[in-house]
Each structure stands twice: as C-alpha cells, then as structure tokens.
C-alpha cells in the first residue's frame, strides 16, 4: 500500500461506471503498475482494466456502490491504475482492503497479479433523472429519505452505467482555469 494524499487532474481519468467526477484526491494506492512503454501496451492494458471492471461491476455495485455504499466511480487513470472513487467522507483502511481483495481476486482469475488500484475521493455535482416525464430528479448526495424503493433502484442501475460528461463539466474546467470569474 502506497499512502499519501495528492490532488490530481480529473482530465486524466476515464470512468467505466458510476458518476463522472469533476476532480479527486488520492487516498492511497495498492499493487504494482505494469511497465507500459508503447501506446499499444497502454491501450491493451486499458482494455484489460475495462474487462476487469465488467467482471467486478455487479459484486461491487451490490455491496459497495452508492447508495448502498461509499463507492461512486470506477475507472482508470493515465498511469494505468484501476481507480475507485468514494464520495467525500470517512473511508477506512479495512473498507479499502476489502474492496482491493475483491478486485485482486477477479484480476488473478484473469492472470493479473498485484493489480494496481488507486483509491480516492471524487468531487460530484450531478442531477440524476428518476422520471423525465414527471420531471422528477435527484441531486447526488441529497437526503434519500423521501425516495421510493423504485427511485433508489433507478439510482442503483444508473450507478452501473458508463457516465456521460455533463456539459457543466466542460464549463467548470474553463472556470477553474480562468480567474475567479464565471464564463459567460
């Protein structure tokens, strides 16, 4: 386990499922990165990580994904780490160990040892459509007490989908890179 908290640029992340993060903070890294020297090796490795994400999606989602758990996003970064992002809050080492074992065991079935996994917190601001015909939406992170079982099920299913980059994210990055003025 390699610990150390650093901020990272969200542009270097590709998400397989969950919500699209506007940025994140690394908590820790496990495993060992493979040596990836050519673009072909990097593309092959990314395909392997995407295959791994499909393999772990259901077990991860059923126990650890929001709204049952703290995981909000699963993806990869440009260095070749398999990435798990939590919603902001207290995530303890035993939870990360437990999730790493799930990922590592699935990776071993694919003949990958010591899978490199980066755990971090994501930054999210996303509206989830519960019923577009009736105009019912849920903002990620809001209280779920008033949601029906079917609404919660919709959120669970959305969390297993590949995120789309919201329009606001593009303007958010412009905003962050300019002065404190909001783009017009």
Q: Tell me: the pLDDT tens digits for 75-107? A: 998 889 999 999 887 789 999 999 999 999 999
Over residues 27-31, the mean pLDDT reads: 94
pLDDT at 136: 86
Q: Residue 171 — pLDDT band, cuts 50, 70, 90?
A: very low
Separation in Å, CA 85 to CA 136, 138, 180, 182: 27, 20, 27, 27
- Identify which of 4-13, 54-63, 151-160, 166-175 has the greatest average pLDDT: 54-63
Query: Which tops the pLDDT comparison, 29 or 169?
Result: 29
Separation in Å, CA 33 to CA 3, 85, 110, 116: 15, 18, 16, 5
pTM of the entire predicted model: 0.79
pLDDT at position 160 over 70: yes
Over residues 104-131, the mean pLDDT reads: 92
Query: Which tops the pLDDT comparison, 68 or 90?
Result: 68
pLDDT at 31: 96
Over residues 134-150, the mean pLDDT reads: 86
- Phi/psi at 100 (nearest 5 deg)? -60, -40
Query: Which tops the pLDDT comparison, 46 or 166?
Result: 46
Q: Across all residues in the chain, what is the average pLDDT?
A: 81
pLDDT at 164: 65
Gyration radius of the chain's alpha carbons? 17
Tokens of 15: 């998400």
């Amino acid at each position: 386990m390699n610990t150390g908290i650093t901020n990272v640029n969200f542009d270097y992340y590709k998400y397989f499922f969950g919500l699209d993060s506007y940025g994140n903070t690394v908590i820790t890294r496990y495993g060992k990165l493979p040596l990836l020297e050519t673009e072909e090796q990097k593309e092959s490795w990314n395909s392997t990580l995407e295959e791994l994400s499909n393999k772990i999606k259901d077990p991860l989602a059923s126990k650890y994904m929001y709204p049952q758990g703290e995981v909000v996003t699963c993806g990869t970064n440009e260095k070749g780490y398999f990435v798990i992002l939590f919603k902001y809050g207290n995530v303890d080492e035993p939870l990360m160990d437990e999730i790493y074992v799930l990922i590592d065991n699935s990776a071993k079935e694919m003949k990958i040892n010591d899978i490199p996994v980066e755990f971090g917190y994501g930054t999210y601001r996303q509206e989830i459509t519960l019923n577009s015909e009736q105009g019912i939406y849920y903002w990620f992170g809001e209280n779920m007490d008033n949601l029906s079982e079917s609404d919660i099920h919709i959120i669970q299913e959305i969390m297993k989908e590949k995120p789309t980059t919201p329009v606001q994210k593009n303007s958010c990055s412009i905003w962050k890179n300019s002065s404190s003025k909001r783009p017009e």
